[in-house]
């Protein structure tokens, strides 16, 4: 990914500033001070460049290439009052995405996410699936990289932290050490003690409940924040995913998009296609027949799906399950119009129905285990297990199927080297629900019953 020249300049300035503020006292006082300074500057630049590559781009559903975050980011609002007292009410959960329920926040005070960060040193940010929590955290880290927030940004995906088995401090130190940062442990300790770090913890709800992993992490987070209390923190979690208490944090909730934000999102989506942009704006924001669609579009992820469907159909389906279905149909059909090369041969043989069935198989087998990020060999094994049962396939090569699937439509993506996942957790949940429905006669619904009441299965139940 190309790093803009202005970002490179800002990173260089940051490296010089950090050397002055910390490097001179952190590195060993040796005769080779000039060498130490050069190593320091290189380490800082490597860390910030890597962080920019991580947070400065975002994958948009249906787009093959990651987009610069600044090109697509729509500023978000948060609510200063939570619906926390309602989030475990079954009826409220069942209508969370229902059209008639989307107006319930109008009476609550809305402030911008940036204002919330300025007003509160520690924010626990709750939000519905697809509300843009991770995107907002990435935007905040990007602001720090650009000196709009004068702190050293540290971005921690809590699922990765939990799976690593490390404590928080050594996990953060490793992020710096990986980029040959001189004396990373001493540096991290100093910036945390002085409150000069901006620590962004993303995705508490994605940490497994099994073996008390989430409970253990909760305790680690509370202890860490208490120890380094001078730093600002942002912590994200799904609404209804936790009732844990973070007494040091101010709770806020991601607000739904208003019509102005919807319009901005549509403008960015259809940039370069003025006719379709205007048509989508009119259909979404002015057509009274699309009132239900307009209310669904208050959720950023659903708005992305709506834009994708409109791009393909020039109209909006009224039901939520249709939005998923139509968007996925559009994504999968894009493959048929793409460039077919030899390694796509097996995937090309799969019908649209079989592609959906394979994705449902992948989703159900992984979601049941709480596996969101998968090693490539595990994904290949699951695909092989599915392909074996498909009659008439020539040369079933699961690895090539995986590559073709990721290259063509982005429902499944490679997050890091040989690490894969569904591009959105919501899609994994949708396909898990599809698998349950498709296999009802085999007892899939009965096997689902033990999970009633578990928060991570909530979306699956809603979609089943």
**pLDDT at site 340:** 34
d(CA 234, CA 283): 36
d(CA 265, CA 281): 10
- Residue of 456, 430, 460 whose CA lies nearest to 237: 456
d(CA 300, CA 314): 19
What are the beta bridge partners of residue 235? 124, 201
10 Å Cβ neighbour count for 218?
17
Written as tens digits, the pLDDT of the chain (464 aa) is 678 888 888 888 888 888 877 776 766 655 566 777 788 888 889 999 999 999 999 877 667 778 889 888 999 999 876 544 443 332 333 344 333 343 444 456 789 999 999 999 999 998 876 788 999 999 999 999 999 999 999 999 999 999 999 999 999 999 999 988 888 999 999 999 999 999 999 999 888 767 788 889 999 999 999 999 999 999 998 765 555 678 899 999 898 899 999 999 999 999 888 999 999 999 999 988 787 678 778 878 778 888 888 988 888 876 667 777 777 776 676 534 432 333 355 677 888 899 999 999 999 999 988 888 888 999 999 999 999 888 877 767 888 888 878 766 668 877 767 788 887 787 888 899 899 888 877 666 666 666 676 778 877 877 77
**pLDDT at site 341:** 30
**pLDDT at site 345:** 58
d(CA 81, CA 131): 16
Helix (H) or strand (E) holding 224: helix 213-227
Pairing, β 250-254 against β 57-58: unpaired
Tell me whether residue 154 is exposed, middle or buried, using C-beta atoms within 10 angstroms of its C-beta: 0 to 12, 13 to 18, 19 or more: buried
**pLDDT at site 293:** 78
> Residue 333 to residues 29, 260, 330, 424, 434: CA-CA distances in angstroms?
62, 31, 5, 19, 18
Pairing, β 374-375 against β 419-422: antiparallel
């Amino acid at each position: 990914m190309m790093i803009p020249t202005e970002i490179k300049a800002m990173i260089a300035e940051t490296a010089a500033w950090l050397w002055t503020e910390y490097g001179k006292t952190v590195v060993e006082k040796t005769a080779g001070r000039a060498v130490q300074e050069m190593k320091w500057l290189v380490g800082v630049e490597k860390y910030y460049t890597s962080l920019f590559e991580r947070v400065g781009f975002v994958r948009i559903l249906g787009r093959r290439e990651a987009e610069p975050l600044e090109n697509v980011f729509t500023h978000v609002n948060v609510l200063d009052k939570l619906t926390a007292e309602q989030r475990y009410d079954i009826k409220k959960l069942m209508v969370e995405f229902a059209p008639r329920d989307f107006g319930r926040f109008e009476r609550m005070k809305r402030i911008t996410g940036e204002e919330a960060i300025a007003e509160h040193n520690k924010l626990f940010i709750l939000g519905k699936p697809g509300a843009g929590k991770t995107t907002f955290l990435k935007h905040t880290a990007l602001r720090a990289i650009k000196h709009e927030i004068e702190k050293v940004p540290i971005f921690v995906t809590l699922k990765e932290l939990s799976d690593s088995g490390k404590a928080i401090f050594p996990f953060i130190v490793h992020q710096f050490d990986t980029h040959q940062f001189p004396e990373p442990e001493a540096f991290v300790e100093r910036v945390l003690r002085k409150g000069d770090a901006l620590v962004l913890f993303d995705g508490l709800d994605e940490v497994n409940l099994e073996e008390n992993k989430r409970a253990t992490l909760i305790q680690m987070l509370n202890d860490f924040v208490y120890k380094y209390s001078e730093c600002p923190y942002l912590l994200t979690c799904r609404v209804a995913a936790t009732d844990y208490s973070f007494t040091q944090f101010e709770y806020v909730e991601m607000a739904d998009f208003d019509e102005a934000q919807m319009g901005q999102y549509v403008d960015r989506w259809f940039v370069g296609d003025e006719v379709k942009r205007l048509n989508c704006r009119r259909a979404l924001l002015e057509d009274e027949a699309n009132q239900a669609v307009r209310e669904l579009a208050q959720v950023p992820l659903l708005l992305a799906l709506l834009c994708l469907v409109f791009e393909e159909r020039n109209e909006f389906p009224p039901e939520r399950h249709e939005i998923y279905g139509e968007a996925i149909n559009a994504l999968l059909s894009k493959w048929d119009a793409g460039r077919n090369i030899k390694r796509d041969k097996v995937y090309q043989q799969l019908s649209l129905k079989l592609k959906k069935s394979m994705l449902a198989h992948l989703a159900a087998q992984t979601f049941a285990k709480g596996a969101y990020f998968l090693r490539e060999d595990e994904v290949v094994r699951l695909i092989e297990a599915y392909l074996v049962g498909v009659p008439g396939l020539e040369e079933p090569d699961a690895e090539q199927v995986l590559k073709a699937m990721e290259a063509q439509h982005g429902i499944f993506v490679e997050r890091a080297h040989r690490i894969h996942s569904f591009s959105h957790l919501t899609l994994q949940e949708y396909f898990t629900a599809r698998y349950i429905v498709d296999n009802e006669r085999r007892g899939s619904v009965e096997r689902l019953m033990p999970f009633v009441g578990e928060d991570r299965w909530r979306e699956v139940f809603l979609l089943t």
